[in-house]
Every structure is written in C-alpha cells, then in structure tokens.
Amino acid sequence: MNSLKGFFYGIATSVTFGLIPLFTLPLMQKGMVFDSILFYRFLFATFALGAMMKIKKESFRIESRDIPMFLLLGLLYTGSAMFLFWGYGFMGAGVATTLHFTYPVFVTLLMLVLFREKASWVTWVAILLAIYGVSELSLKGDELSADATGVIIVLLSAVCYAGYIVAVNKSRLRDMSGRKLAFYVFIVSTVLFAIKALTNQGIQPVPDAVSIGNLFLLAVVPTVISNITLVLAVQNIGGTMTSVLGAMEPVTAVCIGALIFGEEFTMQEGWGIFLILVAVTLIVLTRTIQKSLSTVVRKIRPRHA
C-alpha cells in the first residue's frame, strides 16, 4: 500500500512541476515579465508554506550559523527559476523543461569535480546520451534550430538546480524538515526577485483577476504541492524511484506546450527528449544497473575446478 501511495506521490510531483508553463505563459502573454511573476510566485508560496507549518505546529526556529547556507540555497534556487523562465522567451516550454531536466547529469558532474566522486561507465554513457539529446533539440542539420543563447540559459537553470541539490545534500540542512527548508529558501528567493524587479522596471501590478488566479496556482501547484509530494514520495518509495518518475515533468510540459499553446513539436525534438529521459534514468539507476550486470556476469562466468 505504501508503495502504491509512493508511486502516486512521485507522479504527482513530476506532473505538478511540469505544469509551470500552464500558469506562466498566460501571464507572459499579458505583458508580465518573469521578475514580477517569480516575485509573486515565491511570495504566495512562502505564505502558503508558513500557514501549513503553523497548522502543523512546526517550529520556525533556525540557528544563526545556518543563515549563510540558506542565502546560498536561495541564490541557487532563484537562479534556477530565473534562467528557466528566461528560457521560455527563446524556445517552447516543453523543450525548455526537458533541457532543465538534465540537472541529474550536472549533479553527477558537480560531485565528480567538487568531491572527486567516481563516475561509472554507465554514468559516462548517460552523459554522452544527454549531450546527444541536447544536440538533437538544438540542431537541425548543421545549423542551430534553437537559439544558442536560449539553450545556454536553460542549461544554466539545470546547473543551478543541480548546485542546490548538492548543497543541500552536503550541508547539515539535509536533516531539516522539507517544509521548513523550502520556507526559508522561498523567503530568500522572494527578497532577491523583489530587489531584481525594483532595480529594473519595478514590481508590476497584476493585470486582472485571471492573472491573480494563475499566480496563486503557480505558487501552490508546481511549487508548494510538488515540494510536499516530493517528500512523501521519497518517504514511501525512496529517492531513486522518485527521480525516475520525475521523467513525467518534461513529458507534461511538452504536452501542454503542444496541445494548449500550439507549440511546434517535431520528430527530431521527440527523439532528443527521449534520449535525455533515457540518460537521466541511467544516471538515477546507475548502481542498480551495475549490481544487476555483476550478478549476471557471475552466473554466466565459467567455473573452473
């Protein structure tokens, strides 16, 4: 029963996160810039998480020595959200979300570079597949079909999110309640986007009631709900299977982009998305694959008297 619930939470996590374009693109079409959109998103999400923590009677107390880490995490999370939204201006939302989904590859590379964590042959195959997948999304023949600037921007989103994951896992905050961690990270993100907006065009007023609804849903569905279901999924089926189910994120975004916003979807893009999904799945299942292959080799290896 716990396994079934875990699969439900895992799919809910990836699908809700994949709904970001559904609430974001209508706001951009109304003339809102991503600085203001993201300010409202994290502001509303912070209030929602704070209310939940109050209802659950969770402590808001943190230690002063953790503040620099919260600032770093907030900066990385802010960078990830900013670059992803910026990328929507260069390419379809589905393709942008797929490129963002390469973050497990960058987690592996960061662990390799920063902590000398060895990568297996399965990991290197996955990295090559991911590079091939990105090239399929970006190239048409010998020419770029996607804006090179846009591709780099969205890949920076994946790098920032990978940095966020590595920083959490390598800090003492890894044992903190998921809600409390997200609450303080969202506070930092809200402040950073407020500063960024005020140094540019200022924080835009929300155009109409429909836009208020989209901002509220953007804050709750792919932000608060996805964070909560992520924790529940990991508790029930573990981080590995939860990560595999995360493949629904780009699939959801691609479907929304093609079916609702009429974004063009080619066979080449489909092949590129498939390669990236395979690469990420290999990254997540590296240890399982190695263990299974070792077992098979031991069974078929000739025994000598």
Given a cut of 90, whether residue 148 has pLDDT beyond it is no
Percent of the chain exceeding pLDDT 70 equals 93
| pLDDT at residue 157 in the model | 95
| pLDDT at residue 144 in the model | 53
In angstroms, the Cα distances linking 30 to 37, 101, 228 are 11, 27, 30
Indicate the range of 32-41, 102-111, 195-204 predicted with least confidence: 102-111
| Per-residue confidence band for 189, with pLDDT thresholds at 50, 70 and 90 | very high
C-alpha–C-alpha distance, residues 92 and 206, integer Å: 24
C-alpha–C-alpha distance, residues 177 and 232, integer Å: 12
| pLDDT at residue 305 in the model | 44
Percent of the chain exceeding pLDDT 90 equals 37
61 within some domain: yes
- The segment with the largest mean pLDDT, out of 122-126, 243-247, 274-278, 293-297, is 274-278
The residue among 90 and 217 whose pLDDT is bigger is: 217
| pLDDT at residue 1 in the model | 66
* DSSP H or E run through 190: helix 178-199
Expressed as residue numbers, the domain containing 104 is 2-300
Given a cut of 70, whether residue 103 has pLDDT beyond it is yes
| pLDDT at residue 101 in the model | 85
* DSSP codes joined into one string, 37-96: HHHHHHHHHHHHHHHHHHHTT------GGGHHHHHHHHHHHHHHHHHHHHHTTTS-HHHH
What's the average model confidence in pLDDT over 148-176? 88
Bridging pattern class, strands 143-144 and 139-140? antiparallel
Note whether 250 and 66 are within 8 A (CB).
Answer: no
Indicate the range of 7-16, 103-112, 158-167, 229-238 predicted with least confidence: 229-238
The residue among 26 and 234 whose pLDDT is bigger is: 26
C-alpha–C-alpha distance, residues 216 and 45, integer Å: 8
194 within some domain: yes
| pLDDT at residue 240 in the model | 60
| Per-residue confidence band for 263, with pLDDT thresholds at 50, 70 and 90 | confident
Given a cut of 70, whether residue 145 has pLDDT beyond it is no
Structural domain count, the chain: 1
Given a cut of 70, whether residue 173 has pLDDT beyond it is yes
305 within some domain: no
**H helices then E strands: how many in the chain?**
14, 2
| Per-residue confidence band for 47, with pLDDT thresholds at 50, 70 and 90 | very high
Largest separation between any pair of C-alpha atoms in the chain: 81
Joined tokens for residue 40: 């409202």
Q: pTM to 2 decimals?
A: 0.84
40 within some domain: yes
| Per-residue confidence band for 241, with pLDDT thresholds at 50, 70 and 90 | low
How many Cβ atoms sit within 10 Å of the Cβ of residue 44?
21
pLDDT in tens, 150-163: 889 999 999 998 89
In angstroms, the Cα distances linking 14 to 18, 67, 249, 252, 254 are 6, 29, 5, 8, 13
